[in-house]
Chains A and B, each alone.
Chain A
């Protein structure tokens, strides 16, 4: 059990904190306890704001066994005192573990399952080294993580198709922390994604996640090469310089530096992250790795506009990057037609983005949509300026320039492509 401090120590600390005598602090606590007690007697609950709530809960009578004699008795109904900590206290107490996130376990899709191969022997040994890390299930029955890599080309083709599997994987409670996102798995591929998490502890979830992240990086790399080879005007190097030039405007379009690194890291099977001795690296990997969740919508919070605020300042404070403000415009298009006029006291939907420095593909796409909405609005009201917004669309999502959601002026398009 955890260590304890004595009541005397507590009183001393409180006296110190509130700058009063220990006697006063002591009697204060006693009064508090008596009031809580009388409050419980009188109304059955005592709520202390910012801390928690004491409550009486009625337990119905039930059958039991006398602990000494072993005879069966009926335990009469009685009140129980329960304490329910409020959110602030819960979060405070859980702080050391707050970085741990829930993760989704993908199950086999019935009817499409492939037999699971036996794990490689070295996998087993790694697994069994630390059985404490494997609270669920039997160690060593999950499949080799290599299986999690669907063929790259298939993914490239399939990624744009909306599928039920995509919906299933979408929008986990956990946020995408990385720029890299693994494209949605279509059902035929989902069969190979019997997740290691199912019986694995942390190490296995990390391992699988790392593998998926590696795959995502490689895919992105190929994708980039493909677009450049595919008759685009930009060469790869041009594109890179382009992106470097843009970095002040566009947060981390592509973590360029990381791609060579991922390729030299060797076969994915080696990507088993270090065990607990080095938690920070493991965490970064985990962070990249919430990637399998393909987002389809944002978790949003509502914010009421105050005097003096603009979309720009809100994007700066809420999203961490003022250049993401078109995202707010896009999400709140129903309450504001003119992007330059923010209605007073309006309730804005503020999307919860994971990291303004490294947007995932869904977030980038949404920002691009935002810039596109701006382009449409500006094209009607101030045609000369509109092309800059179209260019920004291309910065966040080059694909969208190829298939614009609606009609665009060819001159603007050429400008956006060649700038």
Chain B
């Protein structure tokens, strides 16, 4: 399901126009992103927990330069699906995208 499908169904469910839905979704994601940027995690019921974690710096081999490269530490988004969601999709038969 792509972004357009998502907006379409969301606007169906909330009864708002697609444009408006897009705006609200954008606002919601901005808030979420801002919290993550500040290093704060958020649990969303029935979906999961967004949080951030630090990846240590690591040494990787770059075959192009035939040398090792130190990739610096970085902060990444960590998502843990909620238990409910996990169970619901666990044994779902999946064809494809």
Interface residues of A (CB under 8 A from B): 1-7, 10, 13-14, 17-18, 20, 25, 27-37, 39-52, 56, 58, 76, 78-83, 85, 89-90, 92-97, 100-107, 135-136, 168-169, 172-173, 197-198, 205
Contact = CB atoms under 8 A, between A and B. Distances in A.
Interface of B: 1-3, 5-6, 9-10, 13-14, 23-33, 35-37, 39-53, 56-57, 59, 62, 65-77, 79, 81, 85-86, 88-92, 94-97
Contacts of A30: 46
Contacts of B56: 135
A197 to B, nearest CB: 6
A82 B33 CA distance: 18
Given A5-B42, A46-B6, A81 B33 contact: no
B96 A44 contact: yes
13 contacts: A2-B41, A18-B28, A28-B14, A32-B25, A76-B91, A79-B90, A83-B48, A89-B33, A93-B36, A97-B75, A105-B69, A107-B68, A172-B65
Given A28-B14, A94-B74, A10 B44 contact: yes
Nearest to B59: A136
A293 to B, nearest CB: 10
B66 to A, nearest CB: 6
A407 B49 CA distance: 68
B73 A14 contact: no
Nearest to B22: A49
B51 A39 contact: no
A107 B69 CA distance: 11
B72 A102 contact: yes
Given A28-B14, A56-B89, A104 B40 contact: no
B31 A17 contact: yes
A143 to B, nearest CB: 17
B51 to A, nearest CB: 6
Contact of B44 (A31, A33, A92): A33
B1 A45 contact: yes
Contacts of A17: 27-28, 30-31
A4 B48 CA distance: 13
B3 A103 contact: no
A1 B53 CA distance: 8
Contacts of B26: 50
- Name which of B32, B48, B94 has the most chain A CB atoms within 10 A of its CB: B94
B81 A28 contact: no
B74 A31 contact: no
A80 B65 CA distance: 36
The 9 closest A-B pairs by CB, nearest first: A100-B72, A83-B79, A39-B1, A18-B27, A81-B81, A49-B3, A4-B41, A17-B27, A85-B77
Contacts of A90: 76-77
Contact of A18 (B24, B45, B49, B95): B24
Contacts of A42: 1
A29 B44 contact: yes
A31 B10 CA distance: 7
Nearest to B32: A10
Contact of B92 (A79, A106, A135): A79
Given A56-B89, A100-B72, A89 B67 contact: no
Given A47-B3, A93-B75, 15 more contacts: A13-B31, A28-B14, A28-B24, A31-B13, A33-B46, A36-B47, A37-B88, A39-B1, A44-B97, A83-B79, A92-B36, A93-B36, A100-B72, A104-B67, A105-B69
Contacts of A102: 69-72
B28 A28 contact: yes
B10 to A, nearest CB: 6
A22 to B, nearest CB: 12
Contacts of A85: 76-77
Nearest to B37: A92
A51 B81 CA distance: 16
Contacts of A50: 26, 29
